[in-house]
Every structure is written in C-alpha cells, then in structure tokens.
Chain A
Amino acid sequence: MGEKTSAFTTVGPEVRHQIVELETVTVRFAGDSGDGIQLTGTLFTNTTALVGNDLGTFPDYPAEIRAPAGTLPGVSAYQICFSSQDVRTPGDQPDVLVAFNPAALKVHLPDLPEGGMILVNVDAFTEYNLKKAGYTSNPLEDGSLAKYRVYKIPMTTATLSALRQIDLPSKDKERCKNFWALGLVYWLFDRPLEPTLRWIEQRFRKNPTIAQANATALRAGYAYGDAAEIFTVHYRVRRAQIAPGVYRKITGNEALALGLITASQLAGRPLFYASYPITPASDILHELALHKNFGVRTFQAEDEIAAMCAAIGAAFAGYLGATGTSGPGMCLKSEAINLAVMVELPVVICDIQRAGPSTGMPTKTEQGDLLQALFGRNSESPVAVVAPATPADCFSMAIEAFRIATKYMTPVILLSDGYLANGAEPWRLPSVEELPKIELRFRTDPNDFYPYLRDPETLARPWAIPGTPGLEHRIGGLEKQHITGNVSYDPQNHELMVKLRAEKIARIAEDIPLLDVFGEPEGKVLVVGWGSTYGAITSAVEHWQKKGASVSSIHLRYLNPFPRNLGEILHRFEKILVPELNLGQLALLLRGRYLVDAIPFSKVQGRPFKISEIIDRIGELL
C-alpha cells in the first residue's frame, strides 16, 4: 500500500477524461460538522462496497454536536481506503482531500503526501472563514499549496445554480452542497450514482422537494466533473478479488448488535440489552431497539450501574443479559461485574473503548481498558475477555462471548473500540444454518440440586431460573459455601472458591481456537497484537515478509484466558514487538505470564496506528 501514492500522482497524458486505473485510493472528506461529512462518507462507502472494492473506513468527528462553525475543533472527517486488493485499514494517508472549508484544509493538510489532490470549496474561502481557521493569508493564493494538486471548485455557487428551479430557501439549497461534492467525487472515481439516488429517494420520501434538490445536486456535481475543463483524467479502481459470497458493508457497532441478536437466536432465548447512552457505544442500543420482533428487550437504564445490574437480573431470569458502554461506564459497572463473578451468571459486557482517563476524548479511539477488563475490580475477580479484530469480527466475537458466558456461567467482557465501532468494511454474510447453536442447560430437576454444585468439566454452576418448582435458592455477593451456595466465612472454603472461580476461567482455554502464526512459525521478530490493531499490524508484517525479512505476527482475540499455544509461540522468536494503543498493557501481561522480553510499541493519540508507523518500528528491530 505504501507504493500506491506514486501511482496515483502520475498524471496521465493530456487526453480529455482518460480513465486511469489505480489499485488503491484513499479519500478523505473533511468539513464542518454541520456539513454532513459523515453522511457523505458513508454514502460514498456504500457505493464503493456495491461496486465490489475491498475497503476500510475511519470516521473522525468532534465530540461536540455542533462545535462553532468554521473553527478547527468543529472539523469532522471521514476517510475511506478502497482497493482492488485486500484492504485492512482505512489507509495511512489520503490521496485525495475534499475540503469543504479553510478549517478542514488546515486540520488535514499535514496528513496529505506531496502531490496529493485537494478538492476545495473555493466559495468557503472568505476572509471571515480564513480568519476563523487562523489563516493570515489565503492558502489558495499565497502559493503555500504548490506541492499539491489543488482544484478550486465553487461547490456552493455551483450547487445554488443547479438548484435554481427548485423552490427552497437558499439556506436549504446550500446544504445540498455535500451531495454536489459527492457527485463530483463519484465522477472522479467512476462510480455509479444509483445507490445514492435510491438512498435519497427513501430517506426523503416524506419531503420530495428536499429529495429532488439532493438528487439534482448529486447529478450536477457528477456532470461538472464531466463537463468542466479542470480534470484531465478520472480514475477507476477495479473490483477486488475477494472470496465469493454475499456481502454487505458493516460497522463494528452494527456487527456487534447483529452478533448479540444472532447469539440469542442460536441459543433460543431472548436478548435483554441494558445500557446507558455513551459515546461510542450508543449505536448498539439504537440498533438493538429496532429489532423488537426478535424478542430483543432494550432497557435504557438510569445509569451505568443499573444497566449492569438489570442485565444480571435478566440473566438470573434466564435471558441472555448484556450491557454495553465505554471506559467511564466500565468504571461504574465494576462493582456489579464483580457481583456477576460471585453469583456466576452469564452476562456479556461490551466495552467500546475510547481515549481516557476519565471523560478523555469521547470520540477518539484507544485500547486503554485491557488491564481494567482483566483486573479492574476488587479482589480476585476472574472474567473471560475477548476482543474482535475487525469491524465484521465484532459479529463473531459477540456470539463467542455469549457461548462462553452461558457455557461457563461467567461474565464475559468484549473489548471493542471507537475505531472498530465506527469503521466499516465489507462483510461476507455467514450462512445462518452453519452457525453453531448455543446449547443452554437450565436446571429443572430438583433432585440433588445445589446452586454451587459444579459441572465437573466446565466448573459451571447450574442455571436455575426463578419459576422452576423445587429449585428455590438464594444467591448473592457474599462468599458462598462450595456446593450448597450458603453464605460462608470459612477460611478454607474461601480459598477453595477463589481458586475454583479462577480455574473455571482458566479452563476456557481448552475451548478456544489455537493461535495461527501469520508467517513463519519461528524467526526473528514476532509482532503481537490484539483487538483493532489487526489491520495495520498485518499489513506492516506483510510488507516485511514480501521483502524477505523474518517477521511474523499473531493476533489475540482472546485475552483471558490466552490461547494455549501463546507461550510456546512467543518463545520461538528472538524479539517480540507489541503495538498497542496504550502504554503497553498487553506487553505487561506477556512479560508477567511468559517471562519474555516483550517490547511495547505505544501510541496514544486517539488515532489508530498507521501501517507505516509499524513498518518503521519493525524495521528498527531487524
């Protein structure tokens, strides 16, 4: 992927509108948060998915709903990388920057490589807006953009003139300029308008004038590219060679919600999802609330604590109980998660991590909650922890979380993050028939029933739900006597129970897949990642492998317990590099567990790794 920029910057011969084929392109839309940037990016992504490219996206928006217009903090951006080859990340650097105003240009210009293409809305470069963005002179005129290919496009006036005939206040017409720009970008990359036109028609069914205005703007933008004399070429990115199947585009949060519903269907029990609104987890609640005909009960609780407690109550009652939150909410939930540990009920806790500590940077990504997930509760409190590697993997890991939770009667924490949550990729739909059922075993037999008599294999206690005659029993947060479940302060019993709870989680290792090494099974450098860094790490490792370097990688989707062969793999390499979006939490665990010299590679900027950053760091170890 590192090579693609040069291919892109080669301008074709001066034949009007020649089509130049490209392998991979990264486009970034940037503008005011009120400009509809996220929507524009999403629609471009939908179309790109439909034409069969592989893709990855990175929405990057301010936490404020409407930061002051035209200011730097108000800039919202959406990046998409699409390709005829495998795409694992949203791209390190944009090849094309679509800047709706001076602030957007200012914020995003530093990411643009030399020779990159800039499409600016020249109408927005007024003295007032320039000043707001902190420009002392107009960059479009002062020569400061000489290194780039700048296209000054009158997006606002062109939109207004295209919409002359439409009866709308000009303020509303002006708001159609994102569709106009989208049309232009569609032309530039030779994409069809139909998917977006269909979307407009559906979305504005109740407001045909707005629908007409947006559709007209979209078409006008496209026609502008074709007719105006400013572009000499446009580009085509062929379909990717990806595995046959039925695909859709999916974000991590959508996949997670669908995974939770699927788990409930596979288990034959309804889902109860309790949550308190929090960025970037709220979309899961919104999505689940739409699917009540799957028996999904959503509960918008009064706070994070109540959400966790209600999920525990639901689990006690025999439902699939789940909750979702982000770091600050995890802090509040810890006491109740510990209750779930003690009463040994299956609850899935989704932590969509964000930059912290405290409120931190709500819309920015981070992997800072790993140690919290493992240890952030009083006393010895083992829980299973899983982490999806890609947006689509959120689907599989949500099912996996419930499989583990119900089989072992334990809370399971699923660690996603803002990057996975909002990032999108094509997802090959699984065949529902082929998904393994989740077998639930509810205790009904009152003979020899003891609430803490464990299954000899899994050490799970029986799940006996209220309403079952003869199984009346009491559970709670006080220490339990082994087998009977009565309250017990006996010292030996306590130690036994602490060890049993730990052993129960440890045994899950027997029940999860072994790690696959990407690359040679032994060698010089092993890169170890977990969660959302999968794409960047794999691409970086592949880069070195192509050059013949001895670099392999493994990616952990199970963080507690670790896969059984982890230690053995670690010991087969000379150097171990652990890139993480934190200050080295997994590295600390690997050092502690396996006595290896794991080298942390940290990034905590609220942004994902660039492939090039990992490539460079690996290079230093070779």
Chain B
Amino acid sequence: MIEPCVSSAEPRFQLDYPINESDFLAAGESASKTKKALQQLGLKPEVVKNSAIIVYEAAMNIVIHATSGRLKVIIVRDEVVIRAEDTGPGIPDIELAMQEGYSTAPHEIREMGFGAGMGLANMKHCSDELIVESEPGVGTILEARIHLGQKESPREIR
C-alpha cells in the first residue's frame, strides 16, 4: 500500500470527506466544496478545475464500486494531493480498469449516466501523477497529485 503522502510534511490545508456507498449527494458535494475552497485559496482556475474533477470521479467510484471510504484534499508544498481510500471489492486488474471504456458498473448505475468507463482516465488526464493501489477483497487507495505551478502558492500559506 502507498505510504501516506503527508508523512513527510505537515499539510497546510486539508479537507476530509467521508464517502459512503450509494450516497451520491455527499459525493457530489465533496467536489463542489473542494472547488469552492480551492478557489478561495486563490489557486489557478486550471488547478481548481482539475482537482474538483478528480474529487468528483474518485468520490463517485467509492459510491458506486466500493462500500465506504474517505477522501482527502491536501496541499503540501507545491502540490494539491487528492487521496481516496476505500473498503470494498478492490480492483483486480488496475491496468484494465484504467482503460477508457472498461466498466463493471451494473445496469441501474448505467441508467443514471455512470459507467462510461472514463472516470479513471479523466483522473489521469487531470493529474500530474496518479497512483492506484488495490487489494482485491480489501479496498483501493488512489492518490492524485497536481502541481500548483510557479507563482501560485495559495494566498493563505505563503
């Protein structure tokens, strides 16, 4: 399993959301709250947008595919780190799951518009670095990192 990214440095900013199976509303709100909070910190629109998309996709994956989990959004040094941990069935073949179009979403979930098999691909596209580790039958840890870029350490932590 991946070492927690925060072990080496104290996070200056942190959001923490519990995410539970079938709670679409809370998962959606975790993304809009993240967007708002990062906007208020004065991060670049691109960074805010990418972070919110990753949070949304990661939260929905927990809601749809896992049992329960937590989602953290942290700013450490010059990065936004989004870490999603869940208890659930895990992903037996991560490479396959990363492929656009691959989905195991059941019929009733697809009817709601999920299950394009694009979530992980979207997260990869929106991050500078994406690590997924999973143990079948136990759960999944996903960590995405987005560089803040030059000249834009957030206002409050400069």
A and B associate: no
B interface residues (Cβ-Cβ under 8 A, vs A) = none
A interface residues (Cβ-Cβ under 8 A, vs B) = none
